[in-house]
Amino acid sequence: MTKVYGIIGRSLGHSFSPEFFASKFKKIRADAVYRKFEIGSIEKFSSIVSAEPNLVGLNVTIPYKKEIIPYLDAVSDEVKTIGAVNTVLLKSGKLYGYNTDVVGFKKSFQSLNLGKTKCLVLGTGGAAQSVYFVLDQLGIEYQKVSRGKSLGDLTYKELDKDILNRFPCIINTTPLGMAPNKGKPDLPYRFLSEKNTLVDLVYQPRVTPFLEEGLRRGTRIKNGFEMLISQAEASWEIWQTVDN
């Protein structure tokens, strides 16, 4: 029986997952396929499940990480806190939701060995929720930065040299800079120094305009590639709990 895995989203042309898992299946000689399920609305999710009797697992991407939750039978504790799912397991006729972005970010962030360095988290969307969760777990102080005061602790306009000194690690959770987007968060980059660390959850391109600004000023930088790989591997481990 060929096991079926896949990814659901609205636009999957540049998705990393199909190539990653196809390579993995070939390497371990798994009798499995990985498919793209592009859907225009989350209401079509149930038809995917019913049409694929050998479906074992799914990755979930924009814009359905929140919308998929009502269609699931149970979710992990991380999902209950974060409110977003990026991995679905089909087991014994039930649908289970997980968030492996937490695993991916934690592994990537800890590899920087920053200790209890205070962080600014740019953005307040779904990706940011995973970052908050990990920083809370690690006991690291952080402040949220958003365009509107009602969404974050700080607005971009409030950022200055003193804040960038007090919160040396800056984590971009927004999609700004993701190819083909050339944008970058609205920061006072002139105040950055070698004391700062810039972390971008974007992985394509490897050096975003946000990270380029840091390189010019001698900061440490890290993109989202390690997080991407780690969250994918965590999804795979979850799917292996199926006994068939």
CATH number at residue 180: 3.40.50.720
Q: Are residues 81 and 118 in the same domain?
A: no
Q: Which of 99, 127, 151 is the last residue of a domain?
A: 99
- Domain membership of residue 145 (yes or no) is yes
Residue 89 pLDDT > 60: yes
Residue 65 annotated as catalytic? yes
Q: Are residues 84 and 196 in the same domain?
A: no
pLDDT (0 to 100) of residue 243:
61
Cα angle at 127 between 126 and 133, to 5 degrees?
95
The mean of the pLDDT values for the chain is 94
- Separation CA 219–CA 87 (nearest Å): 33
- Domain membership of residue 240 (yes or no) is no
Residue type, 128: A
Residue 244 pLDDT > 50: no
Catalytic residue selected from 24, 27, 65, 118: 65
Q: Are residues 167 and 203 in the same domain?
A: yes
The average pLDDT across 123-143 equals 94
- Domain membership of residue 237 (yes or no) is no
Of the candidates 113, 112, 59, which has an alpha carbon nearest to the alpha carbon of residue 231? 59
pLDDT (0 to 100) of residue 151:
78
pLDDT (0 to 100) of residue 44:
96
- Domain membership of residue 149 (yes or no) is yes
Q: Are residues 42 and 108 in the same domain?
A: no
Q: Are residues 149 and 223 in the same domain?
A: yes
The average pLDDT across 156-179 equals 95
Q: Which is it for strands 87-91 and 94-98: parallel, antiparallel or unpaired? A: antiparallel
Residue type, 104: G
pLDDT (0 to 100) of residue 241:
86
pLDDT bracket for residue 182 (50, 70, 90): confident
| Residue 2 near residue 52, CB atoms below 8 Å | no
Counting the structural domains of the chain, the total is 2
Q: Are residues 125 and 203 in the same domain?
A: yes
- Domain membership of residue 37 (yes or no) is yes
pLDDT (0 to 100) of residue 163:
97
Q: Is the overall model pTM greater than 0.75, yes or no?
A: yes
pLDDT (0 to 100) of residue 216:
97
Of 13-27, 83-97, 134-148, the range with the lowest mean pLDDT is: 13-27
pLDDT tens figures, 8-22: 999 888 788 999 999
Q: Which is it for strands 154-155 and 169-172: parallel, antiparallel or unpaired? A: unpaired
Q: Which is it for strands 87-91 and 169-172: parallel, antiparallel or unpaired? A: unpaired
pLDDT tens figures, 195-231: 999 999 999 999 999 999 999 999 999 999 999 999 9
- Domain membership of residue 238 (yes or no) is no
pLDDT bracket for residue 42 (50, 70, 90): very high
Structural domain of 74: 3-99
| Residue 169 near residue 119, CB atoms below 8 Å | yes
Q: Are residues 195 and 111 in the same domain?
A: yes
Q: What is the dihedral of CA 11, 60, 57, 77, to 10 degrees?
A: 180
